[in-house]
Chain A
Amino acid sequence: MALVGIDLGTTNSLIAIWKDHKVELLPNSLGHNMTPSVVGVDDDGTLLVGEIAKERRISHPDYTAAEFKRHMGTDYKYTLGDKTYLPEELSAILLKKLIADAQTKVAEPITEAVISVPAYFDNNQREATKRAAQIAGIEVKRLVNEPSSAVLYKQWKKREDRVDGIHLVVDFGGGTLDISVVDCFENIIEIMAVSGNNQLGGKDFDLCIAKDFCTKTGLSFNNLRKSTRENILWTAENVKKALTENDSVTMRVNIDDQKYETVYSTKELLQVTSQVLVQMKEVLNDALRGAKIELEDVEEIILVGGSCKMPVVQKYLSALFQRPLTIDPEGDYLVGYGAGVLTGIINRESEISDIVMTDVCPFSLGIASKNDKSDKYPSLSVIIPKNSMLPTSKSQVFSGLVPFQEHLSIHVYQGEEYWCMDNLDLGAFLLDITPNEKGDTRALVTFSYDIDGLLVVTAKDLIGDHSLEAVVTQKATLLTPEEIEQKRLALKEQNILQKFEEENRRILAWAQRLYTQADGANKFALANIIETYSKALPEDSLIAVQKMRKDTIARLLQLEMTINTDFFGDDDIISKLMDDTTED
């Protein structure tokens, strides 16, 4: 029985394992450590996962789903072809693929996993992640918070010359922002506070750029076709990435054989994306407040996640913290590695068994209550406050509200808002209480929140002998256990592409993506390639296919360069001109 650590990211996913006294990443069937978190459906109903699906995103937007982590725990439905999928089903498909690929490198069957989730995931989102694993047929040994995972790997790696003191982990990924304040000393990694925004990430930068691009070129982003929008977003992402190395980049998009272009410099990017940065600052403030520390107390700042690679983000952060920041070269892998290290700790591997990592709960938990009968709506009485160490168990006494009250409704909510209705509803239980004349029968309500985020509610009538014990699970609105089992069996039978075919499909998908972006003659060239390649596929021998594949890849690379190059333009000249004119 093997236990693996999985970083189930918004844009990319990783799988790692503790092996031979160190942590190792397990590459996917294409030999890449990172698998894009994209799922698609082929015309014949085959599921496509990873790079192939990502390539098909522009050419087949209706058959591809990405960033489904953003909708985890909701009943948002993705339509792929003629079928609809819940986010957890898509995650399950991705998990299944990750594990199937990893299984080829691991001797024992992989049955258990540590899965990383954003620290700021609420109960529903965590439950959905667990369900995804269930559908994929693996047992979740632990859900670990992504920043905690990253800092765990950092501390383990630097065990010889570690830095004691308070660390601040900024995990700014594709779809989520997580900030953790961590106290590290000796063998202890203690998360002091977490904060975050699970609807803020690199994709928001892309969106900002794409929208700005549309405004500048006179397009209306919302009125464009879906595939065109995907195309602009794709280009925006590339511009964002290119801006990490260059000072200015030209953004070009071909829409219906018409060229649109704008130049972006780092300075402009800062302007365009300032609203995202301001949101990030709010989250930082919240985390520091939660940890009750000052800015000077922060010893080290760890940047994790793709969005932290952006010079804009780095500049902004270093201005906020008034110190130079360096990004970890392994930034993309920290969370995955950390999950791998945690599997070692859970398996009690002797060389890391001393490491103690304690985490906190990201949201307050409490029950609905009223101050007095005149309250129109119930408000939240917090029982386990935000940033309490896990596991934890806390109690509070409540009393009846009206004379001869017979029940106490224990309605559990998660969140920070005053009114219950503004918080996340986790379900309700009824406790019978001994009625009395004044209606002040008291009941002790205890919340036990364990390290896996499992909440057990116990309540006891302090006069009579009524009591109640219940486990809070997500309200049964989404999937029942039977449905999960059904989906698990269905997925087991479902065909996920095997390695050989996968490579071919990836090339085809790539060609099709280029076709969408290309114009004029290139379009014909690509159409030719696609036609010959797809026709040749089923018949030819293995060697012939491999040769053809090689040629096609070379040709496609060439074409991609052509499509993305401007014949007249040198980006630097344009930007210099732009600078000159602005200076004047």
Chain B
Amino acid sequence: MSYWELMGIPPTDDINLIKKAYAEKSKLYHPETHPEQFQELHHAYKFLVAQCKRKKAYEEKVQAEEKTKQPDLETLDIPPEQISWGFSGSTKKPKEQPEAPEPAQAPVAENKTPSKPAQAPNGASQTPVTERKTVQADADFLSLVEQHAVDPWESDPLILQLKKMLDKKAMVLYPTAWKKYFFSRDFLKRQYDPGFLKVFTAVIEQKLEESIKDPKHPYRKLPIWLYNYLNIVYGTFDQNGGSCYAQDEFSEHIYKKEVIAPLQSAFERSAHKYFDCYDMEKHDYLISERYAFYIYRNLLEILEPEEPDREKLRRWLMDAFDLTNTSHVLELLHCDPARDGYGKRINNTFRYQVRIINSPYTFELLGYLLESNHPNSPILEDVMEEVMAEYEKQNHYRNEREILMMMIEENREKRK
């Protein structure tokens, strides 16, 4: 049952109509007599009102901007000189129809009521449907896709753009393009919309299925940054709120429950097939990664600007770690083995943004630090012993381990 059905009214943008419907329905499901149903009703009411408000606020913003600016879809597109491939017709299209009134009114309203499917169908929307039937997709996705077999969102410029981007290997592996795509205002606007998300997910799903079946396909797995963006869109890892898909907590709650949860579970189940480091947790990479940053943080404290070998160290670091964002490095680290029974906040959205390219470099680095006799090195030694113990469990890097342990012991004796 959609929220509109629960309210017993056709989709509308008028907040007063929603309020009236809510008042009427609340007589039926009074909180004193039907507490459960009333909670649902109240959620629906809050969600719809918030949606209307967002829509209105956005429209006003766009109108205000339009007075000063050109239609902004063009400015948000990737400059053509950077990506000349596969990006011409569809993206220019919105120029003729500025996005103010049309896409803004499009959401939930239409795609939640199956009575109006006739609006959309054109050539573009028919082709993916036939293709999809041949694909053996995940059951959940298939049912989702079937529900929206003829969906007005199919012809949405962003969906078309997504298809084009997924078709070209060069595009898929071009992070800036994805960044621009995901952070374009059009996407941010649409990502609140369940209808859009369903089609969006279906397209990704279908393309990935194709790529896996076909050995000659331009790419077999998706790059990790894409996974990160999708994570944010689906809120997979961001359990603490503060995610960008909902502006306030109540709509976030409903959104998660009604829209995201089914998509997310399907996405999680199939993700290991599509992303080239999803199952890295089983690999020793991840362990070395975690400890390498452990050390790295200590390094940050130890290193002073005047350090003569700073440049060398920096290079090592750059080689050893794929540091896209050092500020998040700190978040990854867990030290102090005190065991006090408190729970940990889960906040590992950035987990995959940093990873070790080559573990052995870490050892080189550690060796350097041990030799440097820095005043902080005793702390580092403790840290390292822990790391070694971890490696020992994994039975990895035996030689390096032994060398380092020897160095640590030597250092300690020297100090005595």
Interface presence of A371 (CB below 8 A):
yes
Docked complex Cα distance between A346 and B27 (Å):
14
Nearest CB on B from A393, distance (A): 8
Determine whether the beta carbon of B345 is less than 8 Å from that of A185.
no
Q: Given A187-B23, A188-B22, A354-B27, A397–B346 Cβ distance below 8 Å?
A: yes
Q: Given A372-B334, A373-B336, A186–B19 Cβ distance below 8 Å?
A: yes
Docked complex Cα distance between A445 and B239 (Å):
12
**A176-200 interface code vs B (CB 8 A; 1 in, 0 out):** 0000000001111000000000000
Interface residues of A in 388-445 (CB under 8 A from B): 388-389, 391-392, 394, 396-402, 405, 407-411, 430, 440, 442-443, 445
Binding stretch for chain B, among A47-55, A75-83, A362-370, A469-477: A362-370
Interface presence of B163 (CB below 8 A):
no
Determine whether the beta carbon of A408 is less than 8 Å from that of B343.
yes
Determine whether the beta carbon of A370 is less than 8 Å from that of B345.
yes
Docked complex Cα distance between A378 and B341 (Å):
10
Determine whether the beta carbon of B345 is less than 8 Å from that of A381.
yes
Residues of B within 8 A of A378 (CB): 342
Interface presence of B353 (CB below 8 A):
no
Residues of B within 8 A of A345 (CB): 32
Docked complex Cα distance between A293 and B189 (Å):
23
Interface residues of B in 320-360 (CB under 8 A from A): 331, 333-347
Docked complex Cα distance between A358 and B346 (Å):
32
Residues of A within 8 A of B82 (CB): none
Interface size class of B (residues with CB under 8 A): 35 or more
Interface residues of B in 11-66 (CB under 8 A from A): 19-20, 22-24, 26-27, 30-33, 35, 38-39, 42, 46
Docked complex Cα distance between A67 and B335 (Å):
51
Interface presence of A348 (CB below 8 A):
yes
Residues of B within 8 A of A186 (CB): 19-20, 23-24
Docked complex Cα distance between A410 and B234 (Å):
28
Interface residues of A in 270-307 (CB under 8 A from B): 292
Residues of B within 8 A of A381 (CB): 240, 343, 345
Interface presence of A353 (CB below 8 A):
yes
Residues of A within 8 A of B221 (CB): none
Interface presence of A258 (CB below 8 A):
no
Interface presence of B253 (CB below 8 A):
yes
Residues of B within 8 A of A445 (CB): 343
Interface presence of A356 (CB below 8 A):
yes
**A247-284 interface code vs B (CB 8 A; 1 in, 0 out):** 00000000000000000000000000000000000000
Determine whether the beta carbon of A371 is less than 8 Å from that of B337.
no
Determine whether the beta carbon of B35 is less than 8 Å from that of A391.
yes
Interface presence of A385 (CB below 8 A):
yes
Interface residues of A in 338-358 (CB under 8 A from B): 345-346, 348, 353-354, 356, 358
Q: Given A188-B22, A358-B31, A385-B249, A398–B346 Cβ distance below 8 Å?
A: yes
In the complex, residue of chain B having the shortest beta-carbon distance to the beta carbon of A190 = B42
Determine whether the beta carbon of B19 is less than 8 Å from that of A401.
no
Interface presence of A374 (CB below 8 A):
yes
Docked complex Cα distance between A397 and B345 (Å):
8
Determine whether the beta carbon of B345 is less than 8 Å from that of A348.
no
Residues of B within 8 A of A392 (CB): 39
Residues of A within 8 A of B33 (CB): 348
Determine whether the beta carbon of A372 is less than 8 Å from that of B333.
yes
Q: Given A346-B32, A373-B337, A443–B253 Cβ distance below 8 Å?
A: no
Interface presence of A479 (CB below 8 A):
no
Determine whether the beta carbon of A397 is less than 8 Å from that of B239.
yes
Docked complex Cα distance between A392 and B43 (Å):
10
Determine whether the beta carbon of A451 is less than 8 Å from that of B341.
no
Residues of A within 8 A of B22 (CB): 188
Residues of A within 8 A of B23 (CB): 185-188, 356
Residues of B within 8 A of A397 (CB): 239, 346
Interface residues of A in 23-59 (CB under 8 A from B): none
Determine whether the beta carbon of B342 is less than 8 Å from that of A369.
yes
Determine whether the beta carbon of A371 is less than 8 Å from that of B345.
yes
Residues of A within 8 A of B333 (CB): 372, 374
Docked complex Cα distance between A430 and B340 (Å):
12
Docked complex Cα distance between A169 and B389 (Å):
63
In the complex, residue of chain B having the shortest beta-carbon distance to the beta carbon of A292 = B248
Residues of A within 8 A of B250 (CB): 388-389
Determine whether the beta carbon of A356 is less than 8 Å from that of B31.
yes
Residues of A within 8 A of B38 (CB): 356
Nearest CB on B from A272, distance (A): 42
**A85-129 interface code vs B (CB 8 A; 1 in, 0 out):** 000000000000000000000000000000000000000000000
Determine whether the beta carbon of A402 is less than 8 Å from that of B345.
no
Determine whether the beta carbon of B27 is less than 8 Å from that of A373.
no
Residues of A within 8 A of B347 (CB): 371
Residues of B within 8 A of A405 (CB): 339, 341
Docked complex Cα distance between A130 and B57 (Å):
44
Determine whether the beta carbon of A409 is less than 8 Å from that of B343.
yes
Determine whether the beta carbon of B26 is less than 8 Å from that of A187.
yes
**Cross-chain contact of B344 among A188, A358, A371, A394 (Cβ < 8 A):** A371
**A441-454 interface code vs B (CB 8 A; 1 in, 0 out):** 01101000001000
Determine whether the beta carbon of A356 is less than 8 Å from that of B26.
yes
Interface residues of B in 286-341 (CB under 8 A from A): 331, 333-341
Docked complex Cα distance between A345 and B27 (Å):
12
Determine whether the beta carbon of A373 is less than 8 Å from that of B26.
no
Residue of B42, B336, B342 with highest tally of chain A CB at under 10 A: B342
Docked complex Cα distance between A368 and B337 (Å):
18
Docked complex Cα distance between A367 and B341 (Å):
12
Residues of A within 8 A of B335 (CB): 372-374
Docked complex Cα distance between A373 and B343 (Å):
10
Determine whether the beta carbon of B343 is less than 8 Å from that of A401.
yes
In the complex, residue of chain B having the shortest beta-carbon distance to the beta carbon of A353 = B30
Determine whether the beta carbon of A389 is less than 8 Å from that of B42.
yes
Residues of B within 8 A of A391 (CB): 35, 39
Determine whether the beta carbon of B19 is less than 8 Å from that of A348.
no
Determine whether the beta carbon of A443 is less than 8 Å from that of B343.
yes
Nearest CB on B from A409, distance (A): 4
Q: Given A187-B26, A187-B27, A370–B344 Cβ distance below 8 Å?
A: yes
In the complex, residue of chain A having the shortest beta-carbon distance to the beta carbon of B41 = A356
Residue of A356, A368, A407 with highest tally of chain B CB at under 10 A: A356
Determine whether the beta carbon of B344 is less than 8 Å from that of A401.
yes
Docked complex Cα distance between A83 and B409 (Å):
70
Determine whether the beta carbon of B32 is less than 8 Å from that of A402.
no
In the complex, residue of chain A having the shortest beta-carbon distance to the beta carbon of B333 = A372
In the complex, residue of chain A having the shortest beta-carbon distance to the beta carbon of B249 = A385
Determine whether the beta carbon of B342 is less than 8 Å from that of A401.
yes
Determine whether the beta carbon of B32 is less than 8 Å from that of A388.
no
Determine whether the beta carbon of B341 is less than 8 Å from that of A408.
yes
In the complex, residue of chain B having the shortest beta-carbon distance to the beta carbon of A420 = B342
In the complex, residue of chain B having the shortest beta-carbon distance to the beta carbon of A346 = B32
Determine whether the beta carbon of A400 is less than 8 Å from that of B344.
yes
Q: Given A348-B32, A369-B345, A388-B249, A402–B27 Cβ distance below 8 Å?
A: no
In the complex, residue of chain B having the shortest beta-carbon distance to the beta carbon of A450 = B35
In the complex, residue of chain A having the shortest beta-carbon distance to the beta carbon of B21 = A186
Docked complex Cα distance between A389 and B22 (Å):
15
Docked complex Cα distance between A378 and B27 (Å):
45
Residues of A within 8 A of B31 (CB): 356, 358, 451
Residue of B19, B24, B31, B38 with highest tally of chain A CB at under 10 A: B31
Residues of B within 8 A of A410 (CB): 343
> What are 22 A-to-B residue pairs whose CB atoms are below 8 Å?
A188-B23, A356-B31, A370-B343, A370-B345, A371-B347, A372-B344, A374-B334, A374-B335, A374-B336, A381-B240, A381-B345, A391-B39, A392-B39, A394-B253, A400-B344, A401-B334, A405-B339, A408-B341, A409-B341, A409-B342, A411-B342, A445-B343
9 closest pairs, A vs B, by CB?
Answer: A186-B23, A398-B343, A409-B341, A401-B344, A373-B336, A356-B26, A402-B339, A369-B343, A374-B336
**Which A residues have a C-beta under 8 Å from some C-beta of B?**
185-188, 292, 345-346, 348, 353-354, 356, 358, 367-374, 378, 381, 385, 388-389, 391-392, 394, 396-402, 405, 407-411, 430, 440, 442-443, 445, 451
* Other 6 A-B pairs with CB < 8 A, given A188-B23, A369-B345, A370-B343: A186-B24, A371-B344, A373-B335, A374-B335, A389-B250, A451-B35
